[in-house]
Amino acid sequence: MKNFLRKIVRESDAMTFVEYGLLVGVLGLSIVFGLNAFTNQLYRLWHIIDQASTNAQQAH
């Protein structure tokens, strides 16, 4: 196992592959957290609209 890891570290192609893998991982996490924040804000917006609609109906 150690020899395999040493071989991967020595090869520049493998390092490029590892770097691209890390980049894809970071981008993936950024997308997930960004979508999570977006959906939370969208839920809050719909909740505000629902409350305003309910209050308007009760006022009449």
Q: Domain segments of the chain: what residues? A: 2-51
CA distances from 4 to 1, 11, 19 (A): 5, 11, 18
Q: Answer for the pair 15, 9: CB distance below 8 angstroms, yes or no.
A: yes
- pLDDT the model gives residue 18: 81
* DSSP state string for 22-53: HHHHHHHHHHHHHHHHHHHHHHHHHHHHHHHH
- Structure tokens, 56: 């308007």
3-class SS at 10?
A: helix
* pTM confidence score: 0.57
- pLDDT the model gives residue 50: 94
- pLDDT the model gives residue 13: 66
- Is residue 14 very low, low, confident or very high in pLDDT (cuts 50, 70, 90)? low
Residue type, 41: Q
Q: What is the pLDDT of residues 21-59, one digit of tens each?
A: 899 999 999 999 999 999 999 999 999 999 999 999 888
